[in-house]
Amino acid sequence: MSTRIAFLKGHGTENDFVIVPDPENTLDLPPAAVAALCDRRAGIGGDGLLHVVRSAEHPEAAHMAAEAEWFMDYRNGDGSVAEMCGNGVRVFARYLQRAGHVTEGDLAVATRGGVKAVHIAKGGDVTVGMGKALLPEGDVTVSVGDRSWPARNVNMGNPHAVAFVDDLAHAGDLYSPPPFSPAAAYPSGVNVEFVVDRGPRHVAMRVHERGAGETRSCGTGACAVAVATARRDGADPVATGTPATYTVDVPGGTLVITERSDGEIEMTGPAVIVAEGEIDADWLENAVG
């Protein structure tokens, strides 16, 4: 009888994840294993994978262990590593709550993008402090087919290019990563958001995620969109001392983003665990080859 590895499946505004609890960091999860687990036909399926490890047990997180007991070892669906995942950290917190590791209220989660403050509201949404946005200077262009747009470079720990478009359909099928220029703007690739206005401080977006393809939501992307839209609208909370809140519709739901007067960004939305089960370790070994 082959060994079994526990997993759960969850999503935040339909940005979906395979969750693999591994408190002592005993599992070997090379990129091929992550890609096999995230495969929607031959595996479990997900935009990414949340490897749940005690910070003290992970070489990339041990230095954060005093502040945050748990480390979100986030991987994209293609197996690549990313600095941060905004929806992922909210789903990660929901998992910790379900497993009895934390209760409602405040907790800290270690990520490659630093320690994030999370708040699990009673019976409701999960809020995460996403840190401050960086807005590197320089013109960026993204294109799809024969259309191209100027884009705002926003770094939320991970890289984003935010393009305002007339119609979200103009982004096309997004089967492949939208080309961008100059290449030097994003040496490690980029997440690309396409944005339209819906009303006052209310926008809608589609996203092509680095390492995952088009997804139904992206939390860091929604924050990048809120900041880019605020600057376009002439709103700068740090300069004016007035917070700016934007509602961002994604294909999988709605996220609410506030940029505070100190520049800190908070994102609120749902986080859901939908299933749990066991992975056949022999299958995973064969899938990796």
Cβ-based nearer residue to ligand LBFN2T5F, 56 or 250: 250
Interface of this chain with ligand LBFN2T5F, residues 28 to 57, rule: CB under 6 A: 48
Structural tokens at position 200: 């006052």
Over the window 165 to 194, marking each residue x when it contacts ligand LBFN2T5F by CB under 6 A and - when it does not, the resulting string is --------------------------x---
267/203 Cα distance (integer angstroms): 15
What is the Cα–Cα distance from 156 to 137, expressed in whole angstroms? 15
Is 76 a residue that touches ligand LBFN2T5F (CB under 6 A)?
yes
Cβ-contact 90, 219 below 8 angstroms: yes
CB of 60 or CB of 236, closer to ligand LBFN2T5F:
60
Q: Does 153 bind ligand LBFN2T5F (CB under 6 A)?
A: no
Residues 6 or more apart in contact with residue 33 via CB below 8 angstroms: 79, 284, 287, 288
Q: Write down the H helix ranges in the chain.
A: 31-38, 86-98, 219-232, 237-240, 281-288
In contact, 17 and 10? CB cutoff 8 Å: yes
Binding mask 204-233 for ligand LBFN2T5F (x = CB under 6 A): -----xxxx-----xxx-------------
Q: Is 87 annotated as a binding residue?
A: yes
Q: How many residues bind ligand LBFN2T5F (CB under 6 A)?
A: 17
Residues 6+ away with beta carbon under 8 Å from 203: 195, 196, 197, 225, 226, 229, 246, 247, 248, 249
> Whole-angstrom Cα distance, residue 271 to residue 11?
6
The nearest distance, CB 48 to ligand LBFN2T5F, in angstroms, is 6
Residues in binding site: 15, 76, 86-87, 158, 191, 209-210, 219-220
- Residues in touch with ligand LBFN2T5F (CB under 6 A): 15, 48, 76, 82, 85-88, 158, 191, 209-212, 218-220
Residues in binding site for substrate: 15, 76, 86-87, 158, 191, 209-210, 219-220
